[in-house]
Amino acid sequence: MNQINMKMYQHARHCSPVHSLQSRRACRLQTLSSSRRSFTTCQPLHGSYADTLPSLRINSNTRVIFQGFTGKQATANAKDSLAWGTKIVGGVTPGRTGEHLGLPVLPSVRQAMEQLKPDATAIYVAAHQAPGAIEEAIEAEVPLIVAVAEHIPVHDMLRIHSILKTQSKSRLVGPNSPGIISAVGKCRIGFQPLPCFSSGWVGIVAKSGTLSYETVASTTRAGLGQSLCIGVGGDMAPGTDMIEALSVLEKDPDTEAIAWIGEIGGMGELEAAAWIKEYYSRSESPKPIVGLIAGANEAPGRIMGHAGAFTFLGEPTAKAKITALEEAGVALVNHPAKIGDILKTKLQGTAGFGTTSGSNPFASGTQRRQLHSMRGLERRPLVAGPFVYKKPQHQQRRSIYLEANQCFDELRARGGINCGPYSGHGIRRLLAVGIDRSARSPAILVAPSIEDWMEEAQRTTAPVKSFPFDYRRGPDDLAIERIASHLQLSNKGDSAVDSLRRLIKSLTTLFYEREGLLLTTHIVERLGEIKVVHARFAFDQATFRNGTPSNKIKAMHVRATDEPAEIEAERSGIVYVKLPGADATIGTLVNGAGLAMNTVDALADAGGKAANFLDTGGKATSETVKESFRLILQDPRVKVVFVNIFGGLTLGDMIARGIIMAFKELSLTVSVVVRIRGTNEEEGQKIIAESGLPLYAFDDFEEAAAKAIELSRK
């Protein structure tokens, strides 16, 4: 065979055989999720996935269906979207026909396509059902598919991307996304808070839903309004990436300026910076772009809420992203509330735009390149900037880990791989199987040498190079030969390459069977073959959360080194990360990972210091809010709690009731500053105002943050 001969493996939700050379040439159809669904693993004969980008140009004529139409969440969303003007023409609920909200209900997407002829589908089903719903929509060739669910296992998305790349009919937005919305065309496919939107000229691209809502509110206050807002989402493998979204806004006639919101995790921001630099150089009158990077104060080695909000092997830091965007000519801010006025200033002299009003209550509107959590950290470039893969000080809750001895046992059992501790002899090289976010596919990650492990970080002396491969095919022999060449093996004979091939086969098989995120090994040459001298394997916890059989997690070990409060938080669906520093005295309670990261960043820029990162989750309840207060107040450093809410799915009145409940049941003695915006904000603000409790309530973020900082110093 001309590729690794991996066996067909059976997955709990799908079956993905690895093709032989002959089957590749024949481009046979391959069964994926069920006997009735099949997709080719070859590129389409005509067109490509890039040809589906025009489907993002939604408008008042876009015909929308819902998958999971009769469910509670879809029903509430559809009612609001219909009232706003979205052209919803019906929906799908398996096994049902009839009417719902006066619109037709059909049992399959195929039938809905034939009878209702939609341009787009909004998927409102649980995470474990979402991959099947996405595949059904691709099979039916729905032009635009919007998936809002979070916690979809990464391997499901890698498999779906393998499918998307073979067709030219369907475009995916999401998952883990607020969706897409045209304020000009009154078309909402997602759960964005409608009261914030106004028809206008600013296109928005964002990983974070809550930060995009803040940006919408800012551009509305500035009198600019919005044109098209694309939520690419915070997943590791989004259906539409930031460059694709930017390219659509570049050509959108309704868009005259662009707001762009990135965050830690992945190469997308650096790639977007390169795209923007090239766009500015080739355009006579380019649209102004204002941006923001969330997560500059990330906790090293931690996942900051979003599935993809962490720095992976060989990926750039927030500092590198900020630097690249500044060099590309992007005006950067440290909070989205500033975006509206800055864009308004940049559009001065254009008919229809007024003058900038108001002053900035914070001293600086730009993002700082060096924040307190970055000082003193030596950065060494890996590829094209100050990248660093940080050795986790705590476990990333997205992942389940195997430590070195367990990894050795797995490799010996699977392929008879030679494993053992490093003797001090031989050049150590990096070989890993992980995910290339830019390619949206699995990849072999390699570097020809590795320095000693350091207390704070793992650094390499040479670039980490990625060799992506198709999820449903696996790496082939040509890739193995290129990998061997890049590793600069001293033994060029067949034995060393064969040994490398066996190791890669064992790693990729384990990657598939256990749904790996990053399987890292350090290797040396020993007697003409490859020996593994260190290993650490991380697997996707979302897989197990969504019902993977228990036999798939045998031998997996989760180190109990996290803060007790963080483990308690996870049980309640809350993401809580304790931040370092004796002077970190501001507890933060925020909905949405992007807004939570930015809240920590903006407080730092204004001279404050957050004691924690806390994301209540997109569906926070009053009980969730009360539990969040309890977790925050376990930290004796906290002098004030800053509640910062900008709701989409999260309801303002629900948050307000949770705050009241916390006061009554937890006997709060610290000061509380509250800012509630977004869905049901008026109801929430009224509850707070009428509570009679000693709360400091604000509409404006910067006023609220300034008050929280003031109280933290008392």
Residues annotated as catalytic (active site), given as ranges? 306
- Which residue is listed with tokens 């139409």? 69
Of the candidates 643, 712, 607, the residue with the CA atom closest to the CA atom of residue 364: 607
Angle among Cα 473, 477, 483 to the nearest 5 degrees reads 105
Contact assessment for residue 337 and residue 702, using Cβ atoms and an 8 Å cutoff: yes
Phi, psi (deg, nearest 5) at residue 464: -85, 115
Measured CA distances, 488 to 242, 426, 480, 574, 581 (Å): 35, 13, 13, 45, 43
Q: Is the peptide bond before 421 cis (omega within 30 degrees of 0)?
A: no
Q: Is 681 helix (H, G, I), strand (E, B) or coil?
A: helix
Q: Report CA Rg, the chain.
A: 25
- Which residue is listed with tokens 């509850």? 687
Q: How far, in Å, CA of 240 to CA of 516, rounded?
A: 23
Per-position b or e across 642-666, b if 16+ CB within 10 A of its CB: bbbbbbbbbbbbbbbbbbbbbbeee
Q: How far, in Å, CA of 553 to CA of 402, rounded?
A: 11
Stated as kind and residue range, the H or E segment containing 620 is none
Complete edge-to-edge strand list for the sheet that includes strand 516-526: 399-402, 529-540, 516-526, 429-436, 441-447, 465-468
The residue type at 524:
V
Q: How far, in Å, CA of 594 to CA of 596, rounded?
A: 5
Q: How far, in Å, CA of 644 to CA of 637, rounded?
A: 19
Q: Which regions of 399-515 does DSSP assign to beta strands (E)?
A: 399-402, 429-436, 441-447, 457-458, 465-468
The residue type at 321:
K
Phi, psi (deg, nearest 5) at residue 117: 50, 55
